[in-house]
Structure 1
Amino acid sequence: MMNLAYALIFGFVIAAGLPLNAMSLWILLRHHSLKTPSAVFMVNLAISDLLLIISLPMRVYFYATGMWPLNNMACIWVRMLFRNNIRSSSIFITFISVDRLLAVVYPLRSRYLRTSSKAWKGAALVWLIVVVVNVPESVGFSRFLDEAKIACFEYQNATFSSPAPSGPLNRAIDYFQLVLLFTMLAVNIVSTALVSWTVQRHLHESARVNNKVNVMLIFAMNLMMFTVFFLPVSLVVFFEYYRPALSCLASLNCCLDPLLYYFSFDGFWKRKEDVDTSLARE
């Protein structure tokens, strides 16, 4: 019964997330130039979500039928795409928060720091780190599948006493992901506090912000992404039994990211950039 619920949830993510993220990516590329850091980070975030979504059909098939029709290498790819989404999405969302923090709190001093070239370099570094981490993680998971002689994701239906799909190195990577998520969450909390303080107390700064509700909605959504979707699935290192349910929950994040794009570009940041430009001319 639970397997059917997992299949339905992953199916919903595909049905809702694929068109939403594909449309968001098209809009970002078509109507918003990649000359701003926010646009660069959001394009990479949309790509990360789409990579997760294309891995979900095989999860749906497994949970609906109880069978894995492909080889272990395909299983590893599906698993890595999911884990990569959690890691890359958390970093790109944090980059967006920091960029918005600099735009609101330090609009003039950060102008030369907030460039598209630096954003692309940061995005490339994120993807490089994600891929490098995948190498030892994939090797460890491959050994587990060979030794356990089970189908892909079958370990997720195991009891507490069943072996976890990781050796010492993979366990260390799990802890690395947990530390990464807590670090990114801390950065988001600090960014939210500073922006909220600037908007509410520093009227000479917040006067440049035309839609303060959108500003705080962006930061509130970012915090929700971490506390509801990213952290629980990273804590699974302590609660292997709940991995399937937490994985379903985490996959829902890609259906909400398009809202982040909407609030970021709902006429607000363009006006903000126009103000920065006029201030620079003065």
Structure 2
Amino acid sequence: MTGNSNGTKLDNATLSLLKDGNTSIIISVAYMIITAVNLVGNGLSMWILLFRTSPKTPSIIFMINLTLTDLALGTALPFQIAYQLQGYNWNLGPRMLPLTLIFYTNMYCSILTLTAIGIDRYLGIVRPMLFRQTRERRSIAIISCLLMWGLVLSVLYPLMTTDLTFDIPELGITTCFDVLKTNMLPSMAAWAAFLFSMVFVLFLFPFCVTTFCYVSVIRKLARDSKTVQKERAIRLAFIVLLVFIICFAPNNILLLIHTVLRLFYKKSLYMAYKLTLCFSCLNSCIDPFIYYFASREFRQKLRHIVNLHSQSSADSMKMEHKESIYSTQCPFEGQEREHSKMSLMPQREGM
């Protein structure tokens, strides 16, 4: 959550931010850049995933789910930009309030999806004998995506059933999701359960699982013979963990600290929390790069698609053959290929 209120009186940190036009402009410019990169990168990635990638392995399904959440954020950010540039004055009416929840649905669905991809990589590389049937794994992947959304929406249900607007007469504005009333939940126990679900269930536990999975993958690959594919897989695993820490950890840690300070000590870290929200949105821009553009083979295919790299028909056929091999090796795709079983065993750990 981005703020708290004890009824009618705001803390000085919140008032200071709402009055600070320079900070509003800086954050809005950051959101503009994020929106542009998000829509271009994730739009292209979605097109490639849906129409240029086959078969739809479990990791591809998870990546489609991740891209959908990123695109949803990209379409909602312009409304947040307009809101901030108008001095934190929400004039779109209550029907548009669900747009503000996309910040949290994106962040937590992204976290859970990254965890699911990590588990899929762990099973495919460290425990390859489990869930060997491709169709079974696809069904599990689809059900997992539905459960992710169900869990996130269940945790955020109090925000979905609450009037998130807050009138500030002294500033002549009506905020949206920047000030939450203490009576939004019936008791401190309910607030504790709400915070625990957001910070520990939707962030800390998935982070620990993701870390375990990728550390296990790195250790497994490090013990094998060194190849370019395996080195790339290790680098990508490190990048995923780094993005997880940079984009998600600051916001969730400050969420917990800020809310505790506001509820019990009438203090606030609102300015810092607001800035970390930009970092959580930044993940939506990085996802296409760390999962797709880190691959040399994918870049070649991308250049071919957008006609930035001319090739002869023979070179194109060779590249497509190389891509088909790569798709069984990518560390973020399932290794079970129905049409190339002969190449599975020697390549299932590589990239």
Q: Which category of TM-score, normalised to the shorter sequence, fits these structures?
A: 0.7 to 0.9
The residue aligned with 2:288 is 258
**CA distance 1:153–1:237, shift in 2 (3 Å):** farther
**Distance in 1 between the 2:54 and 2:175 partners?**
41
Contact 1:210 1:271 in 2 (8 A): no
Q: CA deviation at 1:49?
A: 0.5
**Distance in 2 between the 1:139 and 1:86 partners?**
20
**CA distance 1:74–1:34, shift in 2 (3 Å):** farther
Q: CA deviation at 1:280?
A: 6.9
**Distance in 1 between the 2:234 and 2:183 partners?**
40
**Distance in 2 between the 1:164 and 1:11 partners?**
32
The residue aligned with 1:122 is 144
**Distance in 2 between the 1:165 and 1:191 partners?**
40
Q: CA deviation at 1:153?
A: 4.2
Q: CA deviation at 1:195?
A: 1.1
Q: CA deviation at 1:83?
A: 0.5
The residue aligned with 2:328 is 270
Contact 1:91 1:184 in 2 (8 A): yes
Q: How many residues align?
A: 270
Q: CA deviation at 1:110?
A: 3.5
Q: CA deviation at 1:174?
A: 2.8
Contact 1:34 1:116 in 2 (8 A): no
Mean Cα displacement is larger for which, 115-124 or 266-275? 266-275
Mean Cα displacement is larger for which, 267-276 or 84-93? 267-276
Q: Deviations 1:130-178 (Å, cap 9, x if unpaired)? A: 22333222224x1x5358776234746xxxxx96695344553232111
**CA distance 1:145–1:196, shift in 2 (3 Å):** same
Instruction: Give the alignment's TM-score, normalised by structure 1.
Output: 0.84
Matched, 1:238 2:261: no
Instruction: Give the alignment's TM-score, normalised by structure 2.
Output: 0.68
Contact 2:112 2:206 in 1 (8 A): yes
**CA distance 1:52–1:215, shift in 2 (3 Å):** same
- SS of residue paired to 1:232: helix
Amino acid at match of 1:13: I
- SS of residue paired to 1:152: strand
Contact 2:90 2:175 in 1 (8 A): yes
Matched, 1:86 2:144: no
Contact 1:174 1:234 in 2 (8 A): no
The residue aligned with 1:6 is 27
**CA distance 1:280–1:20, shift in 2 (3 Å):** closer
Corresponding residue to 2:77 among 56, 60, 64: 56
Contact 1:188 1:222 in 2 (8 A): no
Amino acid at match of 2:66: L
- Structure 1: 5+ residue runs without aligned partners? 157-161
The residue aligned with 2:264 is none
**CA distance 1:155–1:124, shift in 2 (3 Å):** closer
The residue aligned with 1:218 is 236
**CA distance 1:166–1:223, shift in 2 (3 Å):** farther
Contact 2:251 2:277 in 1 (8 A): yes
Contact 1:21 1:258 in 2 (8 A): yes
Superposition pairs of residues 184-199 of structure 1, within 5 angstroms: 184-199=206-221
Corresponding residue to 2:56 among 14, 22, 35: 35
- SS of residue paired to 2:128: coil
Amino acid at match of 1:270: T
**Distance in 2 between the 1:125 and 1:173 partners?**
19
Identity of aligned residues (%): 24
**CA distance 1:274–1:183, shift in 2 (3 Å):** closer
- Higher-Rg structure is 2
- Structure 2: 5+ residue runs without aligned partners? 1-21, 259-268, 299-322, 347-351
Q: Deviations 1:223-270 (Å, cap 9, x if unpaired)? A: 123211112111223124123211112111100000233147845442
Q: CA deviation at 1:51?
A: 0.8
**Distance in 1 between the 2:156 and 2:282 partners?**
22
The residue aligned with 2:315 is none
